[in-house]
Amino acid sequence: MLRGFKAFLLRGNVVELAIAVVIGVAFGAVINAFVKDLITPLIAAIGGKPDFAGLYFNINNSRFLYGEFFNALIAFVIIAAVIYFFVVAPYTALIERSRKEPPADPTTKKCTECLSEIPKDARRCAFCTSPQPV
């Protein structure tokens, strides 16, 4: 039973997934710090507020911190943009480049009458028996 568990843990997919999660959490922390310390004050300076985190309103002595939501929303948009432009777009371009059409077979040609594929040196089409130019 323990051998099966050990084999499961040492499979490549589990280890790669664990590494991806750890790197993703670290990357999220960097982006959140970037948004909180640089982007939010920049946007807030244009709008006249020093920081979105301090924005809130009260209803019946309950405080609603919508500024924190703005910070999280900006962080999400930046993370999504970074993932798209630095991971998805290059990966898609790489896949498209690898899907090139194979070159046309130089040993065949199309029949002038029925457009069937025939050998390049054929004098007659095997399908419609029409004479072929040489």
What band does 49 get if pLDDT is binned at 50, 70 and 90?
A: low
Domain boundaries, the chain: 2-98, 105-134
User: In CATH terms, is domain 2-98 a member of 1.10.1200.120?
Assistant: yes
Distance CA 85, CA 80 (A): 9
65: CB partners within 8 A, 6+ apart: 53, 55, 56
Give this prediction's pTM: 0.49
108-134 residue pLDDT tens: 888 989 999 999 888 899 999 989 887
Whether 105 has a pLDDT exceeding 70, the answer reads no
pLDDT at 111: 92
Alpha helices in the chain (DSSP H): 2-10, 12-34, 40-47, 66-83, 89-98
pLDDT at 98: 83
For residue 122, count other CB atoms closer than 10 A to its CB: 14
